[in-house]
Structure 1
Amino acid sequence: MKRIGVLTSGGDAPGMNAAVRAVVRAATHLGMEVVGIRRGFQGLYQGDMRLLGPRDVANTIQRGGTILLTARSEVWRTPEGRAEGARHLREWGIDGLVVIGGDGSFHGAHFLSQEHGVKVIGVPGTIDNDLYGTDHTIGYFTAVETALAAVDKLRDTAASHERIFVVEVMGRHAGHIALDVAVAGGAEEVFLPEEDMPVTSVVDVINESVKKGKASSIIIVAEGYPGGAMAVSKAINEGTGLETRVSILGHIQRGGTPVSSDRILASRLGEAAVQALADDVSGVMVGRNNGIIAFTPLEETWARRKEISRDLYRCAKTLSV
């Protein structure tokens, strides 16, 4: 294998640049050239590509976002779009492709491999931490720290005004961010997509808190919980008559300088992805389980559900008294 490609796809995640850097430098170490593909699969379809060397990725490990840019691509959902992308790979003499992204990106990589025989390795880059086959995904640690910093600030205001704050964090299909933030932020309650908990249950939580003398509360809600933070706030208002404030953190959780854990994870997985291609491995995601590099077939990363930690959920409930 003499030349490989690398792209970032889907939502950006802090640490993607560290992964791109690792791919470029690991490939250079093995005597390979690297082609950077801009704007994900849309860029591959359009042929928006250029060679990358070690100096092109200098001073990027600390940067958020992605220097390769990212975009959603409707045309890549079609066989014709993927065929055009495969043609560009052949024109550039690219022997293998590293795809950094989430489950949608891995779907695109899987079909490219199945339809055109392209060797692909997936690197998990998504703040939601919802991919099966790895303990953590690139960007997750930073997203949790960003959300937690916001919750800490909101708690100061909640305590000063004796109010209830309902804070919505990212996690459309998974509650990993919400659960970690709830435990680390000392929240009184947390609502997750994985838990079929009626929104009215928050009324009992608030009433019990008031009985115990709590003048303020923090409620964490994952965006994937039905109705989100607004539904939880409405239930509190109608059930207790108490005033609430809603804070939806949104895309602020995607940006910012990646924390050390994300930089290290991204560096390790990027290097392992290149080594896997060099060893003729394809059609898998490279992850880290219990500190060990592990490979999972791309189809399993989205077909098998990654569960939240039941122990941590129990801990959140126990400590909310």
Structure 2
Amino acid sequence: MTDVNNRSQRLGILVGGGPAPGINSVISAITIEARNSNLEVIGIYDGFARLIEGDTTAVSQLTIPDVSNVHFQGGSILRTSRANPTRNKEDLQRVVQGLKELGISYLVTIGGDDTAFSASEVSQASDGSIRVVHVPKTIDNDLPLPANMPTFGYETARHVGTGLVLNLMEDSRTTNRWYFVVAMGRSAGHLALGMGKAAGATLTIVPEEFLADRITIGQVCDVLECAILKRRVMGRERGLAIIAEGIAEKLDPEELAGLPGVEVNYDQHGHIRLEEIPLEKVLKREIQHRFQQRGEAIGIVDRTIGYELRSASPTPFDVDYTRTLGHGAVRGLLSVTEANRRTDGGLVCLENGQTKIVPFEELRDPVTQRTKVRRVDIDSEGYQVARDYMIRLEKEDLANPEMKLQLATAANMTPDEFVARFAHVVELAGTID
């Protein structure tokens, strides 16, 4: 590590949460603007993990030559971690003390909703001695940015993910079978819907279309089964369904834990470790079981898309976007005088072509006191267009006697049995009227 004992006014940078395309571009932009503003820049490795342990040695001075050619690279030159400094007061105080020992008076955190919350808590715990700005990063696109701006990394992830989905769709056509693809996204279905809409997937299922706090595996499988049956009526025995990973967060943990091969664990922020839930296999197994009960076999290939996207090289959009955010983060930090220094810091974002700092308190949910989550708006035109192009059971299918008979025949049921069994599917919040 570089010697950081010679001190002047210092700005620290750390990365929390999972990787996202564009992290290095943010680090580069922050470093260049800070150095040009006569600040020393200290890169902190592994997020909050080392600081929580009281270790201030995992740091390095960053100069312009260090970062001048990293903006188009994926991953993070400072690495990242999900370590949570807010689990207890002792951890939080060690982080604040470590930052003070490093002589850091300005801190830029790069991360998602959990890191944003941690940044806010660090700023408050420092009593104004450390000014904090957070740069919103997540391929989930679930931070509440103004003017519906995406979080950085999302557009690259959608671009790369769409290419993978298109390849799988071609394989589906070639082999005449179904694909169940689970797309990363802890709470919101933006990435799944974005890939599905762009690729023209048969259907995409997002958690927002289920209004209840808890749903069952059977409810999700009913949507899938009806889509498969409708495709059969249309003369096709193949298709590709994208299921948002966040569906698993709505499932009853006890139901999940009771399934073979499923173990429910939680991360440091109290979230179910969704990457350890084989949702695609659970859904595949249930659908195949349903068809086997009718004496049929159905070919389904299950895949998960997520890790392939997180450290991809950013697209020009995300490079452009992140350079603006990084520059804006430094300008936002330096524009605050001692007289009006906020003790809670804020999040840098882009609105109407200009960067602005949104105070952390405006991002907090008044009930949970956690960072608000931006979910898919199922009443938006964007979602309705996506739904229009999906193959799913709709109300008009059940209102059409001929279609209802064909669907029932495909399911080896009478029309009345089919309606009784699947009518609830068309009552989902996202169903087109």
Common fold: TM-score over 0.5: yes
Offset at 1:193?
A: 1.7
Offset at 1:74?
A: 4.8
In the alignment, is residue 128 of structure 1 matched against residue 150 of structure 2?
Answer: no
Structure 1 residue aligned with 2:308 = 252
Give the counterpart letter for 1:12 in structure 2. Answer: P
Partner secondary structure for residue 14 of structure 1:
coil
Structure 2 matches for 1:45-64, cutoff 5 A?
45=52, 46-47=55-56, 48-64=58-74
Partner secondary structure for residue 308 of structure 2:
helix
Q: CA contact under 8 A between 2:135 and 2:348: conserved in structure 1? A: yes
Partner secondary structure for residue 144 of structure 1:
helix
TM-score (norm 2): 0.70
Partner secondary structure for residue 247 of structure 2:
coil
Offset at 1:319?
A: 1.3
Structure 1 residue aligned with 2:163 = 149
Label 1:175 to 1:137 Cα distance change in 2 as closer, same or farther (>3 A): same
178-187 or 209-218: bigger deviation = 209-218
Offset at 1:215?
A: 3.7
Give the counterpart letter for 1:201 in structure 2. Answer: V
Structure 1 residue aligned with 2:317 = 261
Unmatched 5+ stretches in structure 1:
none
Structure 2 matches for 1:188-207, cutoff 5 A?
188-196=202-210, 198-199=219-220, 200-207=222-229
| Distance in 1 between residues matched to 2:225 and 2:352, nearest whole Å | 39
Q: Cα deviation per residue 1:8-56 (whole Å; 9 max; x = unaligned)?
A: 1111111000000000001122222211111111233421222111011
Q: CA contact under 8 A between 2:48 and 2:84: conserved in structure 1? A: no
Question: Which runs of structure 1 show a deviation greater than 6 angstroms over 4 or more consecutive aligned residues?
Answer: none
Offset at 1:318?
A: 0.8
Structure 2 matches for 1:69-218, cutoff 5 A?
69-74=79-84, 77-117=87-127, 118-134=130-146, 135-196=149-210, 198-199=219-220, 200-218=222-240
| RMSD value, Cα | 2.0
TM-score (norm 1): 0.93
Structure 1 residue aligned with 2:356 = 294
Pick the aligned partner of 1:19 from 26, 45, 48: 26
Judging by fraction of residues, say which structure has more strand: 1
Q: CA contact under 8 A between 2:85 and 2:118: conserved in structure 1? A: no
Offset at 1:296?
A: 2.2
Unmatched 5+ stretches in structure 2:
1-7, 212-218, 252-278, 366-371, 392-433
Q: Cα deviation per residue 1:260-291 (whole Å; 9 max; x = unaligned)?
A: 11111111111000000001165110112454
Give the counterpart letter for 2:233 in structure 1. Answer: K
Q: Relative contact order (alpha carbons < 8 A, sep ≥ 6): 1 or 2 greater?
A: 1
Partner secondary structure for residue 219 of structure 1:
strand
Q: CA contact under 8 A between 2:161 and 2:195: conserved in structure 1? A: yes
| Distance in 1 between residues matched to 2:283 and 2:363, nearest whole Å | 31
Pick the aligned partner of 1:237 from 274, 288, 296: 288
Rg larger for: 2
